[in-house]
């Protein structure tokens, strides 16, 4: 079984800066980390490999320094790492990103064998759109299972997989045919500690590096800023509230709850009458 995991190297959220003209995230000089949600996708891919055999290929799109994240995941025991890097990808929104990643996954399939499962994290901490995983599935024509909390039965011979998916109403147990794309929820597993052999291999391993041309991207107008219809109009930090919290204490004679209710009603005179109306209507 061939499993592909898409990850992203993201800026440390504590030190993000925004370009004043393009309103895009400035990555130069900002420490980067592996997107935390993607760590759960990596571990789940390794667990599937442990159960049914096969190989795990990790793919990321980014600047040359994204190789650091790929070498990190190689220490976990990943079999292969592919870096999609080219200046044409700079400034990509989710539409352009899914186009580039889907093209690269097709190239991975031609080079290393078609993927049976594509894993991603549920979203990234820099964009928070949760659109890239489903976008890749749509472009590749894959069945998609989103917000997955656990992998159940896998039948490699029959080409089926069963997963537990969290929803607003509880947990859904879904079964589908392979190939498919799975987006993993957070806190669903814990990344393993790589062996010394994995660490040595990661230091010596060759990270496969593809440009847009190498990956088979034919239409460069669908990449980067040219292929990104999303326009960020304004980026700003929330304004600090002028009002301060008020400490409400009991007067010693009445219960605190009674004092609190009295304080709320004094600030919102119409609230009591609205509550009485609702009680009467129901």
Tens digit of pLDDT for each residue in 113-170? 999 999 999 999 888 899 999 999 999 999 999 999 999 999 999 999 999 999 888 8
Same domain? 164 vs 242: no
In whole angstroms, give the CA distance from residue 79 to residue 142: 23
Mean pLDDT of 26-37: 81
Residues 53 and 3 sit within 8 Å (Cβ to Cβ): no
Q: Residues near 134 by Cβ (< 8 Å), separated by ≥ 6? A: 144, 146, 181, 183
CB-CB contact of 104 with 59 (8 Å): yes
Residue 26 lies in a domain: yes
Query: Does position 237 have pLDDT exceeding 70, yes or no?
Result: no
Q: Residue 131: enclosing H or E segment and its boundaries?
A: none
pTM of the model: 0.79
Residues 6+ apart with CB under 8 A from 45: 3, 5, 56, 78, 117, 119
Residue 92 structural domain: 2-222
Whether residue 19 sits in one domain with residue 133: yes
In terms of domains, do 31 and 154 share one?
yes
pLDDT of amino acid 16: 67
Query: Is position 232 within any domain?
Result: no
CA pseudo-torsion sign 193, 198, 202, 205: negative
Is the same domain home to 267 and 215?
no
Residue 164 contacts residue 150 (beta carbons within 8 Å): yes
Q: What is the DSSP letter of 225?
A: T
Domain boundary among 222, 248, 264: 222
Domain count, the chain: 2
């Amino acid at each position: 079984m061939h499993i592909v995991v898409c990850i992203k190297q993201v800026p440390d959220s504590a030190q993000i800066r925004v370009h004043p003209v393009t309103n895009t995230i400035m990555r130069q000089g900002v420490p980067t980390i592996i997107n935390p949600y993607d760590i759960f996708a990596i571990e789940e891919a390794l667990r599937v490999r442990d159960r049914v055999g096969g190989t795990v290929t990790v793919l990321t799109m980014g600047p040359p320094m994204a190789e650091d994240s790929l070498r990190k995941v190689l220490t976990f025991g990943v079999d292969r790492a592919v870096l999609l890097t080219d200046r044409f990808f700079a400034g990509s929104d989710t539409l352009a990103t899914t186009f580039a990643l889907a093209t690269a996954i097709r190239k991975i399939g031609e080079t290393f064998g078609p993927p049976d499962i594509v894993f991603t994290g549920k979203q990234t901490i820099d964009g928070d759109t949760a659109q890239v995983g489903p976008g890749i599935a749509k472009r590749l024509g894959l069945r998609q299972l989103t917000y997955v909390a656990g992998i159940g039965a896998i039948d490699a011979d029959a080409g089926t997989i069963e997963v537990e998916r969290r929803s607003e109403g509880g947990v859904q147990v879904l079964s589908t045919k392979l190939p498919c794309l799975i987006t993993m929820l957070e806190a669903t597993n814990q990344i393993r500690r790589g062996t010394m052999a994995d660490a040595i291999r990661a230091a010596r391993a060759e990270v496969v590096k593809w440009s847009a041309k190498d990956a088979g991207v034919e239409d460069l107008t669908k990449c980067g800023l040219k292929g990104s219809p999303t326009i960020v109009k304004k980026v700003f930090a929330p304004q600090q509230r002028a009002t301060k919290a008020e400490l409400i204490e009991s007067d010693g004679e009445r219960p605190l709850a009674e004092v609190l209710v009295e304080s709320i009603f004094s600030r919102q005179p119409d609230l009591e009458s609205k509550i009485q109306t609702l009680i009467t209507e129901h």
